[in-house]
Copies of this chain bind each other. A is one copy, B any other.
Amino acid sequence: MILPVLNPLAVEAWSRNTPLDGLNLNRVFPGHAYGSVTERIADAVSRVLLPMVDIVFDLHSFGPTWDFPPAATTHPIADPDLMARTVGMAEAFNLPLTLIWQHNDTAGMFDITAQNQGKVFVCTEFGGGTVGADNLAIYEAGVRNALIALRLIEGKADSPTFRRQKSRQTLETRPSDELKSPAPGIFEPRCSVLDEMKQGDLIGILHPIDSLSAESIDIRAPETSVVLAVASGAHFDANKVVALLARPLKK
């Protein structure tokens, strides 16, 4: 079963939130049959479609103001058997990054509802920023690799190159891995996604613009880590996330 678009109104508006009711589809699962349009879409998916499938691929990309590597992701799952099968499925995409993402804003997400029904659920983040031909080619290779692993199609798994790198890694990230702007100002990124950082390495520089005498502030890696995501150079208020770090998954 292929659903090219789950929320056409939000896609047309280039927004996470449905213009008609202001709701984010990926925060209202499992939805309500008699709710607003976004809640009804979630309900139809949860109650009608999900019971018909064994495995779900949620194919999308990260935000337009972020750089992010092509990744197959999952949140931590309490059931160790489902967790192992989910990580195995994610790694079968053979993308540059497989990511176990622990964060605190998961209430109402599609994957929780699918996992509550015992389904293997892999969410892909096919890069941030713009969606271009290069990223789409990696996207296609990843989905083909996953379908080959499931024996739904025949072929040999491909290992797509991302920015000159062919390496593969499985990382985990937690809320404490977020780096935030220490003051309001323009963030100058000084690292790229998947860069390996040692403690004290420069992630970026925050340039205050509300005072002519304020000094620029270095933002440094608090420990050995890999750069998971870095925000685009732009003005940020204080205490906003400007980079996400990650570490190799302890199995």
Chain A residues in contact with chain B, CB under 8 A? 4-5, 8, 11-12, 14, 64-67, 128-134, 136, 164, 184, 186, 188-192, 207, 209-210, 230-235
A161 → chain B closest CB, angstroms? 11
Copies of the chain in the assembly:
2
User: Known contacts A12-B209, A14-B234, A129-B129; can you find 12 more A-B pairs with CB under 8 A?
Assistant: A5-B186, A8-B209, A11-B234, A64-B65, A66-B130, A67-B132, A130-B233, A131-B233, A131-B234, A132-B230, A132-B232, A132-B233
Q: From known contacts A4-B209, A164-B164, infer whether A235 and B189 are also in contact, taking CB-CB under 8 Å.
A: no
The 5 closest A-B pairs by CB, nearest first: A131-B233, A130-B232, A129-B129, A129-B130, A12-B235
How would you classify the secondary structure of chain A's contact residues: helix, strand, loop or mixed? Answer: loop
Could you list 12 examples of A-B contacts with CB < 8 Å?
A: A4-B207, A11-B234, A14-B234, A64-B129, A64-B232, A129-B130, A129-B232, A130-B130, A132-B232, A136-B190, A136-B233, A164-B164
Q: Which residues of B contact A209 (CB under 8 A)?
A: 4-5, 8, 11-12
Contacts of A136 in B (CB 8 A): 188-190, 233
Whether A133 lies near B191 (C-beta < 8 A) is yes
A158 to B143, CA, bound (A): 40
Contact residues in B for A14 (Cβ distance below 8 Å): 234-235
CA distance A28 to B5 in the complex (A): 41
The closest CB in chain B to the CB of A227 belongs to B133
**A235 partner residues in chain B, CB cutoff 8 A:** 11-12, 14
Contact residue among B4, B133, B210 (Cβ-Cβ distance under 8 Å from A189): B133
Q: In this complex, what residue of B is CB-closest to A130?
A: B232
